[in-house]
Amino acid sequence: CHLIHYLRLSHHLIVLNYLICTFDKLKSVSSEDIKITDAVFDGVEVRVFEPPAEGDESLRRGVVYIHGGGWALASARTSLYNNLCRIMAESLNAVVVSVEYRLVPEVCFPEQYHDALRATKHFLQPDVLAEYSVDPSRIAISGDSAGGNLAAAVCQQLSKDEDLTVRPKLQALIYPVLQAFDFNTPSYQQNMNMPVLPRYVMVSYWIDYLNGDYGLAHELLVNNHTALNVGRALSFHARLNWTSLLPASFKKSSAIVERLPALLDVRAVPLLADDATLARQPRTYVLTCENDVLRDDGAMYARRLERAGVPVTLDHFHDCFHGCMIFTMWPTDFSAGVKTRDSYIKWLDENL
């Protein structure tokens, strides 16, 4: 893939995603248990999973699910996400809407966010919920990894929309990526070379998502785009603040935020939201894994939500890794995937 990119035949992410989806993408195949249809919600493709109607015609729960893949890979139609959403629909007796947002490099931020927001707002319309027999008071927004980022950003925006008549009851974030402010948190340091998602790969995803230059990767890795650490060093900040003390010729990296202003845009970086916005968020579930550079992103978001008065469940798995929840099918049917998936669905069942 990188050779093809180097030869300028195509972008490596296009090639990689083509390979993933060519061998893995599934057509919408319904069964007696779950009806699967592909639809378009306000211009955004979605895949809808519907359990059979109950005899008493009672309303069902609803889940909007946003898949991961670094804003660049995977699909709502691949077998891994197809399987997850099917199991969610069966286990919860819920209508699950899996969002097929556009990917990097076709589009960059904020288009993925806009796609997720448009599809979610369309589903939340009373007439659409009635069409799918969904209870307006029992809807969750969820996603994993980059999808968790989009789910959190969408929830924050929905909480500010005064015209909405239906709002999500819950948000459930699976090892979400929530900040690009510090790539040297303890989990980034501990797991910088961990398979599935090494630190340099996560930084590359951010650069692609924000349509940046790969030449910025090193500066981001060493946190040259942020100010000094806080905490005990705060009182010494003015004495060591290189942004004001060094000559301009030394500050080659100080313009990174100017070159990538989205690094401080809460639609891309939900962890930077203000306390007032966080206080409006629904009851939240955050799943984190010990062997994951994004562990601390989720833990910090959970803590900030708690401080803002939001009921939060932080579900941490000490022996699991990033992305494990979708690996529940042969030949990657890992116990870590089944364990995290079952815990996630159990929480949704008890709270939705």
- In this prediction, residue 109 has a pLDDT band, given cuts at 50, 70 and 90, of very high
- In this prediction, residue 257 has a pLDDT band, given cuts at 50, 70 and 90, of confident
Tracing tokens 């989990």 back to the chain, one arrives at: 187
- In this prediction, residue 46 has a pLDDT band, given cuts at 50, 70 and 90, of very high
pLDDT score for 329 = 79
pLDDT score for 134 = 97
Domain membership of residue 175 (yes or no) is yes
pLDDT score for 229 = 47
Residues 6 or more apart whose CB falls under 8 angstroms from that of 201 comprise 70
- In this prediction, residue 9 has a pLDDT band, given cuts at 50, 70 and 90, of very low
- In this prediction, residue 324 has a pLDDT band, given cuts at 50, 70 and 90, of very high
What whole-number distance in Å separates Cα of residue 84 and Cα of residue 253?
Answer: 42
Residues 6 or more apart whose CB falls under 8 angstroms from that of 129 comprise 62, 123, 135, 136, 139, 166
Domain membership of residue 208 (yes or no) is no
Kindly report the CATH number assigned to the domain that includes residue 66: 3.40.50.1820
pLDDT score for 10 = 45
Would you name the residues annotated as active-site residues?
145, 292, 322
Q: For the whole prediction, is pTM greater than 0.85?
A: yes
Q: Is the pLDDT of residue 239 over 80?
A: no
pLDDT score for 204 = 94
pLDDT tens digits, residue range 266-306? 999 999 999 999 999 999 999 999 999 999 999 999 999 99
Residue 349 has φ and ψ, to the nearest 5°, of -65, -35
Total domain count, the chain: 1
Task: Select the more confidently predicted residue: 181 or 197.
Answer: 197
Average pLDDT over residues 61-76: 96
Domain membership of residue 19 (yes or no) is yes
Specify the DSSP class assigned to residue 302: H
Domain that holds residue 49: 1-181+269-350
Domain membership of residue 210 (yes or no) is no
Domain membership of residue 240 (yes or no) is no
Q: Is the pLDDT of residue 238 over 80?
A: no
Average pLDDT over residues 54-77: 90
What percent of the chain is modeled with pLDDT above 90? 68
- In this prediction, residue 261 has a pLDDT band, given cuts at 50, 70 and 90, of confident
Domain membership of residue 28 (yes or no) is yes
- In this prediction, residue 225 has a pLDDT band, given cuts at 50, 70 and 90, of low
Q: Is the pLDDT of residue 97 over 90?
A: yes
pLDDT score for 7 = 43
Coil/strand/helix, residue 249:
helix
| Residue in 143, 140, 145 with CA at minimum distance from that of residue 176 | 145
What whole-number distance in Å separates Cα of residue 55 and Cα of residue 196?
Answer: 44
Domain membership of residue 3 (yes or no) is yes
pLDDT tens digits, residue range 21-41? 555 655 556 566 899 999 999
pLDDT score for 303 = 95
Domain membership of residue 257 (yes or no) is no
| Residue in 169, 170, 168, 173 with CA at minimum distance from that of residue 152 | 173
Residue 191 CB neighbours (<10 A): 24
Token reading at 340: 């995290």
Residue 91 CB neighbours (<10 A): 15
- In this prediction, residue 255 has a pLDDT band, given cuts at 50, 70 and 90, of low
